[in-house]
Amino acid sequence: MSDPTPDKELSKVVGSEVAAGLTRWARSNGMEIILPANGWTARGFTDAFVTSLIVRDPDNGDFSLALKVAGEHARSERETHEKALMEAPEEFRANHLVELEHGVIELDGGRIGYFQSLAGGSSRVRPVADLSSAAQHKAAVATCIAASDGLTNKWNTAPFVTRKSTVREFLRREVGHLSGGGTLGSLGRWAASTGWGDLNGRPLRVTGEAVRERVLPDPLLLLGEHPLGACEITVHTGYSHGDLHLGNLLVPTDDRGTRPERYRLIDLSTYQSAGPRSRDLAALLTSGLALLWPGLGPTYQEFLLDDVANFDGEVPERQDKPVLDLIRGVPGVMTAEATRRGFEHEWRVEFTLALLAAALRSTTHENLDPELRWWFVQLAGRLTARYLEIEGVAMSQKPPVEFSNPFPGHRPSPTTAASTTSRPDEVPRLRGLLLGGMSTRDADR
């Protein structure tokens, strides 16, 4: 039998304030907290995290659970998780969601925690984000594809429902739905501080190794007052996790290998009953690209911009196979279902815009390599170009702005060292667009 974990050891995993509150809760309830032999911690892009722990109940023994720790908002997030469980089909809930255990735990420092059960799964689960070695990439991609199939065919079993939106409204909601406020949050701040939000519709000119020069539309073009932003689109709605990055997707991994079909979705705090079905698939794809991207050479990384934008077209066999499988596999099942129902074009538009929003959000993630964040800026531009192509609209004829990586800590290259991010004579100050007036209060629930 394992011994209870000393506060000092627990503090190394969850921090001293969380450890103190957790220990206090356990003692007041006659329980013990134990660190598992092969524990894991999943962190997203905020100070919230999920970590594996063993809770020892003197009456019922040990249970392997996942502890979610976040700020006061986690109280309502737990309620949202409960709603997701109640609304899910029974089989999907049992096989792919995680149950809630115990109640809300008051922690120090204004934070709270709650446990999610891994019952029915394996204690040797790992976030797919941890499958970072080249040897594990195939399993990581297979899990993403299995999850995308489950989202489409096993979770969303209710009748197929669509609604109308404008391009601008859709993008603003998708970019801002995780910010918790009425603006673009960290995207607006980064755009203001780096200069790439100041283009006022002017294209970007970027240079590379495989593609010596690439001219891309302003990545923020469609969020502003461009006439295309007012165009109506069809949005396919259904159950949506809302924050399905690879830290929130678990998969059993042990001596028998990785079992993608036994994936589980954790942290359902951003669940919506009628959210865009493109949201989770776009998050899965961009998060998967972030996992695979470091293992690709500069040439592959540049060509990848075009391949992602052409997700439902012919992708040349020039990328590593896991990347090809990811690009085609994640949206593939939903593409087939939408096509079967006569919505092929509408889905292509929606998923292109959902990917654009996911790419823009990814530019704000400070835990990513600066080169990868810059790649996501370019991907957002390429996806904007793809939308213009779909609608048969030419790119702006304004003179392009020379632009290079604006993020701190990037590695200058000879091809980009002469570029600038914010020449006063070329780039006006940031429009008020990014810093206000983008309400997310009307987001679907």
Q: Which amino acid is at 328?
A: R
Segment 94-133, tens digit of pLDDT: 999 999 999 999 988 889 999 998 755 555 788 899 998 8
- What are 194's two structure tokens? 């780096």
Instruction: Starting at the earlier edge strand, list the strands of the sheet with 232-240.
Output: 161-166, 232-240, 272-276
pLDDT at residue 289, as a whole number: 96
Residues sharing a CB contact under 8 Å with residue 221, sequence separation 6 or more, in sequence order: 201, 228, 384, 396
pLDDT surpassing 70 at residue 425? no
Residue 110 pLDDT: 85
As a whole number of angstroms, the distance between CA 386 and CA 408 comes to 29
pLDDT at 342: 96
Position 16 confidence tier, pLDDT thresholds 50, 70, 90? confident
Residue 190 pLDDT > 70: no
Q: Is the pLDDT score of 25 beyond 90?
A: yes
Least confident range from 186-200, 311-325, 394-408: namely: 186-200
Q: Which amino acid is at 164?
A: K
Distance CA 404, CA 401 (A): 10
Q: How confident is the model at residue 224 (pLDDT cuts 50, 70, 90)?
A: confident
Q: What is the pLDDT of residue 315?
A: 67
- Residue 415 pLDDT exceeds 50: no
190 versus 408: which is more confidently predicted? 408
Question: The pTM is what?
Answer: 0.83
Averaged pLDDT for residues 409-424: 41
- Does pLDDT of 442 surpass 50? no
Q: CA-based diameter of the chain, in Å?
A: 72
CB 238 within 8 A of CB 159: no
Q: How far apart are CA 204 and CA 118, in angstroms?
A: 47
Confidence grade of residue 317 (pLDDT, cut at 50, 70, 90): low
Residue with tokens 């001219």: 215
pLDDT value of position 200: 64
pLDDT tens digit string along 389-408? 999 988 888 888 887 787 77
pLDDT above 90 for 193 = no
pLDDT of residue 123: 58
pLDDT at 263 over 90: yes
Rounded distance between C-alpha atoms, residue 256 and residue 262, angstroms: 13
Mean pLDDT of 28-32: 93
Angle at 336 between CA 249 and CA 393, to 5 degrees: 100
Residue 402 is inside which H or E element, if any? strand 401-402
The band of 421, judged by pLDDT with boundaries at 50, 70 and 90, is very low
| Pair 207, 131: CB distance under 8 Å | no
100, 85 contact by CB (below 8 A): yes
Residue 331 reports pLDDT greater than 90:
yes
Give the domain ranges of the chain.
7-123, 127-435
Residue 267 in this model has a pLDDT that exceeds 70: yes
Residue 125's pLDDT is 82
The two structure tokens encoding residue 53: 């722990």
Residue type at position 195: G
Residues 6+ apart with CB under 8 A from 154: 89, 91, 92, 96
195 versus 299: which is more confidently predicted? Answer: 299
Q: How far apart are CA 161 and CA 274, in angstroms?
A: 9
| CATH code, 7-123 | 3.30.200
